[in-house]
C-alpha cells in the first residue's frame, strides 16, 4: 500500500469539511449543491481507501452506487434550481418562502 489509510481518511475529512462549509455558508443554491457533491465524493474516497485496506470489493460497489445517485441527484437538483430561478429570479434559498 503506497498511501496509508490514515492519509486518505484525512483527505476525505478535509474535503467533507470543505463541503459542509460550502453547503452551509454559501447563499447560492448551485454552490450548495456543489458542496453536497463534494461531501459525497469525500465519502467515496473514504470508501475506496477502506476497500483497498481490507481487500473488500463492497466498498467499490458502494462508490459506483454513489456516483449513480450523485449524477441523478445533480440533474434533478439542477432542474429544480433552474425552475426555481425562473419562478423567483433568485438563487438564494432565503427567498423561497412560497411553501410557508
DSSP code per residue over 41-58: HHHHHHHHHHHHHHT-TH
Does residue 2 touch another protein according to CB under 8 A? no
Rounded Cα–Cα distance for residues 71 and 14 (Å): 22
CB closer to another protein out of 28 and 60: 28
Give the x-and-dash track for 64-93 against another protein (CB under 8 A).
-----------------------------x
CB closer to another protein out of 3 and 25: 25
Residue 13: left (phi > 0), alpha (psi -120 to 50), or beta?
A: alpha
Give residues in contact with another protein (CB under 8 A): 20, 23-25, 27, 32, 93-94, 96-97, 99-100
Amino acid at each position: 500500500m503506497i498511501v496509508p489509510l490514515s492519509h486518505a481518511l484525512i483527505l476525505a475529512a478535509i474535503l467533507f469539511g470543505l463541503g459542509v462549509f460550502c453547503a452551509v455558508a454559501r447563499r447560492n443554491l448551485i454552490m450548495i449543491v456543489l458542496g453536497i457533491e463534494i461531501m459525497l465524493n469525500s465519502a467515496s474516497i473514504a470508501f475506496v481507501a477502506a476497500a483497498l485496506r481490507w481487500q473488500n470489493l463492497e466498498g467499490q460497489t458502494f462508490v459506483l452506487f454513489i456516483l449513480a445517485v450523485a449524477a441523478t441527484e445533480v440533474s434533478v437538483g439542477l432542474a429544480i434550481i433552474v425552475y426555481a430561478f425562473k419562478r423567483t429570479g433568485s438563487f438564494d434559498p432565503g427567498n423561497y418562502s412560497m411553501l410557508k
